A and B are shown apart, each in its own frame.
Chain A
């Protein structure tokens, strides 16, 4: 099993739609969780951290389910500019030296928002 798994998509949705992505992770010791967005041929950019209680930033909502080891990202009222690849990222966990400094990156979910 991959450490971080995401449905690669692509998800094709019309403008204004609500779309949700899930991401599962294998290491129950992971402590921190993030969503990054990456536009085609550009660098990843932090979209939001994911907190245990769930968190919202405008049209974006992130949720964490530790028991089932997955995180989710919900995008409401999709815009054309939301078209990108969304990367799920978790910390590697573990107690070894340096382990808590490493992020494990998913391969990303591709979203295309259509007019």
Chain B
């Protein structure tokens, strides 16, 4: 089915390790987003890409980097993981800037 695919679904990292979360959409959407969701905090925007070739910081960008590789793919990199980055990460896409997000199934990341 068409949609947003995120990998991996689960990951355990040690403090200081790095990793990249992958996201791809096949709906020809222009905008893509990375969120994290923590209990009591709701969904918080890490980075977004309004269109291919552009990326912007969201509310909580520290400790993360992103790459909009092409129109389909938007990756999130943790350069040096910290326990505070333990969270559920969601990638999303939309045809226009803030309407009708489609989310991936999420990545559950634990940093020990």
Residues of A whose CB lies within 8 Å of any CB of B are 32, 34, 36, 42-46, 49, 87, 91, 98, 100-103, 105-108
Contacts and interface: CB of A to CB of B under 8 A. Distances in A.
Contact of A101 (B31, B90, B103): B31
Please provide the 4 A-B residue pairs with the shortest distance between their CB atoms, ordered closest to farther.
Answer: A43-B103, A105-B43, A101-B97, A107-B42
Nearest to A45: B103
Contacts of B85: none
B104 A98 contact: no
Contact of A108 (B42, B97, B99): B42
A83 to B, nearest CB: 19
A88 B42 CA distance: 11
A81 B99 CA distance: 25
Contacts of B97: 100-101
A24 to B, nearest CB: 15
Which of B41, B42, B106 has the most A CB atoms < 10 Å from its CB? B42
Given A98-B56, A103-B45, A107-B40, 17 more contacts: A34-B100, A36-B101, A42-B106, A43-B104, A46-B101, A49-B99, A100-B97, A100-B98, A101-B56, A101-B97, A101-B98, A103-B98, A105-B43, A105-B44, A106-B42, A107-B41, A107-B42
A102 B100 contact: no
Contacts of B48: 101-102
B50 interface: yes
B98 A91 contact: yes
A43 B106 contact: yes
B58 interface: yes
Contacts, number: 49
B100 A44 contact: no
7 contacts: A43-B104, A44-B101, A91-B98, A101-B31, A101-B97, A103-B101, A106-B42
A32 to B, nearest CB: 6
A34 B50 CA distance: 19
Interface in B44-90: 44-45, 48, 50, 56, 58, 90
B105 interface: yes
